[in-house]
């Protein structure tokens, strides 16, 4: 896995598979998402990476809601190394 390689090379600090992401609006729980990976960069920033083959309608809607109400969350779909590290 390329994330493991980035971790071994010291380019990222941590990778956690399938961590729960609590999507909230005005302090109220809306739904949970479970992205494939939670990546902590060396500077402490957190990015979520999803490796998606086929997007379901439910998933597309969940991503739209996440990006609309929690724009501070960095949620990447099929990212490459450059996207992940920038």
Domain segments of the chain as ranges = 2-85
Task: Please tell me the pTM assigned to this model.
Answer: 0.90
pLDDT digit string (tens) for 4-58? Answer: 999 999 999 999 999 999 999 999 999 999 999 999 999 999 999 999 888 899 9
- For the residues 46-73, what does the mean pLDDT come to? 93
What local confidence, expressed as pLDDT, does residue 63 receive?
95
Residue 1 pLDDT greater than 80, yes or no: no
Nearest to 66 by CA among 30, 39, 28, 36: 30
Taking residue 54's Cβ as centre, other Cβ atoms within 10 Å add up to 5
Residue 54 is predicted with a pLDDT of 87
């Amino acid at each position: 896995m390329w994330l493991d390689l980035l971790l071994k090379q010291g380019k990222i600090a941590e990778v956690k598979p399938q961590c729960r992401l609590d999507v909230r609006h005005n302090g109220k729980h809306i739904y949970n998402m479970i992205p494939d990976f939670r990546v902590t960069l060396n500077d402490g920033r957190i990015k979520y990476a999803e490796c998606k083959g086929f997007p379901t309608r439910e998933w597309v809607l969940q991503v739209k809601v996440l990006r609309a109400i929690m724009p501070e969350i960095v949620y990447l779909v099929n990212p490459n190394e450059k996207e992940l590290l920038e």
